[in-house]
Every structure is written in structure tokens, then in C-alpha cells.
A and B are shown apart, each in its own frame.
Chain A
Amino acid sequence: RSVPLSTDMSDEEFAKNYLKELYAMQEDNTPSFGRKVSEMSLKLSEMQEFFGLKVTGTLDAETLEMMKQPRCGVPDVAA
């Protein structure tokens, strides 16, 4: 079950911070011409695969719920 967050961040902003912290997602400041898949989508896929969720590469409700569960602050993948 999800745990309420003490934050005013939007879900997408929250997800970005989660992926930066735990999946080594870089801040994307460059234009994305020619990129077929965004890094956020790739990192979401990594996270969904790790937790055995349906791998969609998108921020669905199930993935967000998983992100909001209490957890260890150590990354799931190598930095």
C-alpha cells in the first residue's frame, strides 16, 4: 500500500528525483533530436523490471505507488 508523501512535488517531478537518486538518471538539458526513447523512459523500465512490474517505460499508477513505498536509500543499480 502506498505511503503518503510529505511533499508538494508533482508526481512526475517526484519520479524524476527518484530516478536520479536511485537509477543514476542524468539531468536532461540537451535537445532530444533523434532520440527514440527518453532516458526517463529507460530508467523507468529498469526500475519496473527490477521490481517485477509490467515494463511500460511510462509513469503509470502502479510504478508511482511502488516509488512511494518506504525503502532503503541505496541505489538498485551500479552508479
Chain B
Amino acid sequence: YRADSSSNKWPTNKLTYRIENYTPDMSVAEVDDSIQRALQVWARVTPLKFTRIYSGIADIMISFAVGDHGDGSPFDGPNGFLAHAFGPADGLGGDTHFDDDETFTFKSSNGYNLFLVAAHEFGHALGLDHSTDPGALMNARYTYRDVDSFVLPRDDVRKIQALYGSNPEIPDKPEPTPPPTPNACDPRLVLDAVTGLRGETYFFKNKFFWRSHPQMPQTEQFLIKSFWPELPGDIDAALEDPSADLVYIFKGQKVWALNGYDVVNRKSLSSFRLPATVKKINAAVYDESTGKMLFFVGKSYYSFDTNNKKMDKGYPKQVEERFPGMTGKVTAAFQNNGFTYLFSGPRVFEFNESTLMRVLGNKHFLQC
């Protein structure tokens, strides 16, 4: 495989593929469907057309193999390398091999989803390199994502269209907008939620989060599903209750309780004794000094007593009563080193108890 993508493309838009054999992990129909959908990921955004053949030599020969399978790049058993593909060329060019020591799946997040692995490999078979964008399909690392609502990310669309152009056909229904990967340097970045997790801080935005360790200058960006396949994107709020070693993730009426990488409980917003009129919260924070969970809704907030498992009386109160100077809607919140950080759009208000210390930007926390 050559990484010189600029000259590494097929000279025709009409390509053939052939499935030479099957994995025992899935039915024949499931493999056929996964492969066909994986090719369509690329066909939808380019002029490329894929035709299946059942005998002879196709441009893209697809097979499942284990260990040394005769192409000079042996597989390594379970995990590790999942598959590989050869860039556009005659002979081995375009051929795509899957390591059959893996457990491949059709829809599930258990094992490796064949559609996702195949779609990535076909990107190579069409001439794409690995991407450093953690949200890109062409990132080297396997990450499970929701297969039913999969939309090719913007980074991949841009790169494949640089090789083959866009699809000239007008689709029956408009394609969903390719999702971009959030950029920490965007001055307009509005985070969805922020929480601590065992000494680290997690900053959520869309389907992604940044992870910051107090001893590391770098922040790493990941897909939420790469850590917690069950969690949705675009969450409303998150907070950590360190006394219980739990992180709560809020979206609408749904709440997930996480213990590290495991989802240990599913609750509803009403289990925190919020009034039925509250359909979603905007932000949440655990106040370590009082043991209270604060839930922000618009410009008001509620206080939940974690010890007695009941809502404190006299709430909701105006956020500005407790945090003078915080006049806007709180969009995310967390505590760190005794300070409370309230996010309002792209601005971050740092409070020591009830005293406003500084107004910061996201760049104070995220490496840019």
C-alpha cells in the first residue's frame, strides 16, 4: 500500500468486487449486506459504481483469512490487526482481507462490526490513507459507532471527493450533512457537558469528548462510543459523584450511571426528584463541599441532597443568587481544585465559593 494518495486512485469509476469466502461468525446474507453497505458509504458521495461478480478476478477481491495468508502481511490472531487492504492497482491492488481470528458482528457492538471495518478498508482500496482525525472513518483505530445512523464524516468525504469528485446524481433524498469533528480551537465552541472522572476531566461535544489528565499537557479527543458504546451523542449534562465512584450522563429524561467504562445503571431524570415540568437539564455539577448535586435549567438551578436522596426545599433558585455575575444560561459545569466552573456558551466563569474569580475561554482547559 502506498500512501501517495494524490496519484493513487482507480482510473475508472466502474469497479467490480467479489466475495471469495465467508466468516463463520455471521450468516452469508449478513456478510453480503455488510459489504454492500460498506461500499455504498463511498458510492453515495462519489461517481463510483460497484458491481458484484461471482467468478473471475474483480478489482476488489474480498476474503477472510487467518495468520499468514500469502500476501506478505500475516494476521496476528485475535485483536490487534483486524483487516488490511491494498491501494488501487492491478493484481493485489484493491484486495481486502479480514482477519478471521476476530469475531465479526452484523449490528452489535460486541466484537468487531464488519460493516465498519469493511467501510474503512474500502477507503484504502479506493486510495485513502489513515487520517489523524479521531472522528474520521479512516482513523487507524477501530471505534464502534451507531451503524444504523452512520454518516460518512466530513474529513473522509473531503478526501475521497478530492480523488474522485462528488456524486453527479441527484439522490432521492438529500444526504445528511457529514458530521465534522469538533475543534478545540474554535472560539465559538460551546461544550455540551463537562465532568470529572477519577481525577481526569472529560469535555463532551456532539459525539466526541476530550480527555484531560492533570499531569499531562495534552488533551486527547475520542468518540464517546469508543469508551461507552451504549451512550448517545449530544448529551445534556454530566457530573461525577466521587463518593460513589459514579458518573451520571444526562440526555432528556434518560440518565446513565457509569462506573469507569461500565454502564452500571439506567435511571430517569425524575429519580433525582426534579419536578415533572423539567424535561431536560442544561448542566449539572456535584458540589463536593456540600454533597449536593446542582441541576441547571435555564437561568435557575435545583439542589439535590445525595445523602437524603431528596430535593432541597426552596428550589429552583436563580443561578445569580448563588453565583453573582452569572447572568446567562449555564450550559455546562464542573468542579476542580475547589473551584466551580460554569460554562455559558463559549465563556467559562470561575467561582471560588460564590466569588467570581475570572472569566475564561475553553482554551484554558483544551489544548489548542
Interface contact A52-B3, CB-CB below 8 Å: no
Q: Does B52 contact A (CB under 8 A)?
A: no
Q: Does A31 contact B (CB under 8 A)?
A: no
Q: Does A30 contact B (CB under 8 A)?
A: no
Q: Does B267 contact A (CB under 8 A)?
A: no
Interface contact A73-B83, CB-CB below 8 Å: yes
**B residues less than 8 Å from A4 (CB atoms):** 79
Q: Which residue of B lies closest to A62 (CB)?
A: B216
Interface contact A72-B221, CB-CB below 8 Å: no
A/B pair count, beta carbons within 8 Å = 84
A1–B112 alpha-carbon span in the complex (Å): 15
Majority secondary structure, B binding face: loop
Stretch among B22-30, B70-78, B147-155, B241-249 lining the A interface = B70-78
Min C-beta distance of A63 to chain B, whole Å:
12
Q: Give the contact-size bracket for chain A.
A: 20 to 34
Given A70-B112, A72-B84, A72-B124, A52 and B142 contact (CB-CB distance below 8 Å): no
Interface contact B79-A70, CB-CB below 8 Å: yes
- A1 is contacted by which of B1, B73, B81, B261 (Cβ under 8 Å)? B261
Q: Does A37 contact B (CB under 8 A)?
A: no
Contact with B along A59-77 (1 / 0, CB 8 A): 0000000101111111111
- A74 is contacted by which of B77, B84, B216, B218 (Cβ under 8 Å)? B84
Interface contact A79-B1, CB-CB below 8 Å: yes
**A residues less than 8 Å from B79 (CB atoms):** 3-6, 68, 70
Which 8 A-B residue pairings sit nearest by Cβ, starting from the closest?
A73-B81, A73-B84, A78-B3, A70-B142, A3-B79, A71-B140, A76-B130, A71-B141
Besides A52-B132, A76-B140, 18 new A-B residue pairs in contact (Cβ under 8 A), listed by A number: A1-B261, A21-B81, A50-B130, A51-B140, A52-B134, A53-B220, A54-B216, A54-B218, A66-B141, A68-B79, A68-B80, A71-B81, A71-B141, A72-B130, A73-B81, A73-B99, A74-B85, A76-B129
